[in-house]
Structure 1
Amino acid sequence: MQHTLLIAMFLVSAYLLFYNIFTARSPLPKTCSRQARPSGQESTRHCSPQWDLMFLKVHQAGSSPVLNILFRYGEKHRLKFAFPSGRSDFNYPAPFERRSIADYAPGACYNVIATHMRFNRAELGQLLPPDRHYFTILRLPAPLFESSFHYYSPTIPLTWRIPGPNRLATFLGDPWAYYSPGAFNSHYLRNLQFFDLGYNKDMDPHDLALPGIFKELEAHFALVMLAEHFDESLILLKDLLCWEMEDMMYFRLNARATGDVEPLDLELQWKALEWNQVDALLYAHFNRTFWRKVETFGRTRMAWEVAELRWLNARMAEACIEGDGPVGAAFQPWQPAGRRNSAGYNRKQQVEAPYEELCNAMLTPEMQYMGNMGVSLWKMRLWAFLHNLVNW
């Protein structure tokens, strides 16, 4: 009894300590104009740069580079971001609500809303008019399921009782033996993309309402990017927002280490698609809309612009990245509870002066970047501290 009491007192003390350390207020608003062009921005094309936008960051879709692009652009033009309070998402998996924004007050305006959330158009429309640019990203459902299963399994109690050395294969062999729709964090195990977009993850794939839902989403989102065609997606985004090619430069961030990825064989891919049929139908719909946009943009023009973007990325990699070796804390991505599988980059010790600031920005993972922008992440840091303490 005394031992239990001492542990409880220690945990409460740790909670209070970390609360005081990490409860920093979010920065005061920068600009929040709906009219004028961002300061210092002169487009080389016959359009005006857009900066009132919402990016829905779907889980495990390889979208961390998009956040980095938005953070860099926002800092450069002093745009106002809506950030969560104490964490990196807007009270996910609950649907988005305005009150989940740090320091929110009625009448507040924001230029950019961009991080993990469960899409709620009615609430978002109160902050950012629906005629502004909403965009998101999708990934092929089978590899996304594999990634989600392994990345989040320490936080999904349903997976803890799955036997055998290959729990994913065991699960896909008979999903209903282990899955329960209402269980804690079960959304990570089925139709995760459809769920993030605000819908029922367990919807019947033969439901006649699905085509209408896809059309509704198509009307809400000006662009649905595809992770498998990331560079082409960025070119379409650049064109949509009337930004410059230099604004779209990126490094792959928060990617899993190569040795941690378990490619699915053909049989498991089909089983994963069968289990995530709604996500598969969702992806197929927006794959078609994506390539229609590419056709409208022009395939030859697309090829040239993708080549230019890749050349710029390679130039920045040569200027910024050292190579293999231990990754410093400043550039080490956030690791989920119980995992150490996200790779980072080493910055060169000596970076030429013209590239130094941009190198630091492009290499900074999203959690550190949010912290640098004044976001309090004390809840996440406290959770990580307590998790490590329990497993010490």
Structure 2
Amino acid sequence: MACIVFTSYKHSVVLVDKLPALQYRQRSTRNSTSHYTNVTTHVAFLKVHKAGSTTVQNLLFRFGMRHDLNILLPKSGNYLNRASQKMSLKAGQKSYDIFACHTIYQKQWFDSLLPTDSVYIGIVRDPVERMISSAYYYRDVFGVGYLKRVPRANFIHDLVNYPDKYDTAFFSHTRNSMGKDFGFRRGIEPTNKSKIRKYLDQLNSQFLLVLIMEKFDESLVMLKRLLNWSFGDIIYLKMNSHKHEHTVLNSTEIAKFRNTSFLDFEIYEYFSNVFETKLKQTEDEFYKEVEFFQTTLDKTSEFCSRKNKTEIVALSFGKSKWDEKFQVTQLDCEWMKTKELSFISKLRSTKHIQLA
């Protein structure tokens, strides 16, 4: 079999020009290093708006397909807030395994969706960067009314400096959005620190991991270790990124925004501290694993962006100290590039999809 071999950071990358059909199957198990054990297959993901969550959703959908799991979807759209919106299980299926669509978090609601041994994960993003991304996205892509009314010349600055004029709702696309997604109730006062902290402590006890977008790769490697997954399970291409004008707020504007979107700052700072604590508890080997993962991402991006897709059909990574060998196929590339609504539509309409 003809191939090209690259050596990078103590692992080999092989581009294969002919690949026999492969069936992804449920692995037996592995421990925290390289041998399979107790792979977690019941996962509910809180898809937080404009926080890198579409990328996480995509890899969860692919994980479900690869392991022939039942993925919970709404009957229409990409939001699931009521039991009546759930698609019915197919004949012979006992429960759902994966949930990764938009919803508002409530523990009882999440508990009702998946088996009792399911783990909950979420994601957060720097509130200022999330707000800027969200403002441009919902103005330019969806034409949201209140955002279109803000003058374009000083769009973000006016939105932040004049919230009483342009962004009056307690929850909006640009105000306390993460707070809404995580289930905070409308009207909670910023001075009620103890109530906010109590709910954040509850969330921390209910979520196995809250990923940090600014440390996305570290978060995914942490997730891989906690769920005993493979690098092949967390490989990704960046999704749903909307290009927009670069905007920098000054310290006064950040203070104003912190005042109006206080829940998002509380959430982000709380879970950033939790994640930093988790990082401090890891060994030096963790960062070498992250570096290894980032090398695989670079190679995968290069492979998936090739113009000539007929000559080489798979990218094969050799066994490492952190994982067994795995492959990225052209089909994987296609699914990684699939937009959210299209992915959900295909999952709905296809009786059985399996990555091969």
TM-score range, shorter chain: 0.7 to 0.9
Q: Contact 1:82 / 1:102 at 8 angstroms: preserved in 2?
A: yes
- For residues 269-298 of structure 1, the C-alpha deviation after alignment (integer angstroms, 9 at most, x for no partner) is 443333212211111111111011112222
- Higher percent of residues as helix: 1
Query: Which residue in the other structure is 1:350 paired with?
Result: 310
Matched letter for residue 209 of structure 1: K
Partners of 1:147 and 1:101 lie apart in 2 by 30
Alignment of 1:55-204 (within 5 A): 55-90=45-80, 96-103=81-88, 109-129=95-115, 131-153=117-139, 154-163=142-151, 165-181=153-169, 187-204=172-189
Q: Which residue of 1 aligns with 2:299?
A: 315
Rounded to whole Å, the distance in 1 between the matches of 2:190 and 2:311 is 52
Q: Which residue of 2 aligns with 1:364?
A: 338
Per-residue CA shift, 1:59-99, capped at 9, x if unaligned?
Answer: 00012221121111111110001101110121xxxxx3222
User: Any idea what SS the aligned residue of 2:65 has?
Assistant: helix
Residue in structure 1 matching 2:213, options 202, 212, 227: 227
Deviation at 1:242, TM superposition (A): 0.5
2:96 and 2:115 in contact (8 A); partners too: no
- For residues 100 and 289 of structure 1, do their structure 2 counterparts lie closer, same or farther at Cα, with a shift above 3 Å needed? same
Distance in 1 (CA, whole Å) between partners of 2:222 and 2:49 is 21
Measure, in 1, the Cα distance between the counterparts of 2:248 and 2:94: 46
Unaligned runs of at least 5 residues, structure 1? 1-37, 91-95, 323-346, 377-392
Per-residue deviation, 1:147: 1.3
| Secondary structure at the counterpart of residue 216 of structure 2 | helix
- Superposed CA deviations along residues 319-360 of structure 1, whole A, max 9, x for unmatched, are 1204xxxxxxxxxxxxxxxxxxxxxxxx64435122322222
The structural deviation recorded for 1:102 is: 1.9
Q: Give a deviation string over 1:355-386, Cα, whole Å, max 9, x none.
A: 3222222222222222222259xxxxxxxxxx
The correspondence for 1:236, drawn from 212, 216, 222, is: 222
Count of aligned positions:
303
CA–CA distance in structure 2, aligned partners of residues 144 and 256 of structure 1: 12
CA distance in 1, matches of 2:59, 2:27: 18
What does residue 39 of structure 1 align with? 26
Counterpart of 1:205 (choices 156, 177, 190) is 190
C-alpha spacing 1:219/1:130, structure 2 compared with 1 (3 Å): farther
Which structure would you say has the larger RCO, counting Cα contacts within 8 Å and 6 or more residues apart? 2
* TM-score when normalising by structure 2: 0.78
TM-score by length of 1: 0.71
- State the distance in 2 between where 1:139 and 1:375 align: 33
Gaps of 5+ in 2: 1-24, 315-328, 351-356
CA deviations on 1:252-276 (whole Å, 9 max, x unpaired) are 111122xx14322334444333321
User: Which of the residues 41, 53, 71 maps onto 1:51?
Assistant: 41
With over 3 angstroms needed to count, the CA separation of the structure-2 counterparts of 1:59 and 1:164, relative to structure 1, is: closer
Percent of aligned pairs with the same residue? Answer: 24
Whether the 8 Å contact between 1:191 and 1:201 is mirrored in structure 2 is no
Deviations 1:158-184 (A, max 9, x none): 3343346223211211211233337xx
The letter of the residue matching 2:294 is R
Q: Partner letter of residue 116 of structure 1?
A: H
Q: Once the 2 structures are TM-superposed, how far is the Cα of residue 103 of structure 1 from its aligned partner?
A: 2.8
Give 1:108 deviation, angstroms: 5.6
Q: Which residue of 2 aligns with 1:4?
A: none
**Structure 1 residue 194, shift from structure 2 partner:** 0.8
Moved over 4 A (4+): none
Question: Equivalent residue for 2:239?
Answer: 253
Shift of the 138–351 alpha-carbon distance from structure 1 to 2, 3 Å rule, reads farther
Say which of 268, 278, 284 aligns to 2:269.
284
- Alpha-carbon distance change, 239 to 40 in structure 1, aligned in 2, over 3 angstroms: closer
Structure 1: distance between partners of 2:162 and 2:181? 24
AA of the residue aligned to 2:331:
E
| C-alpha contact 1:57 1:136 (8 A) present in aligned 2 | yes
Q: Is the 8 A contact 1:84 1:101 kept in 2?
A: yes
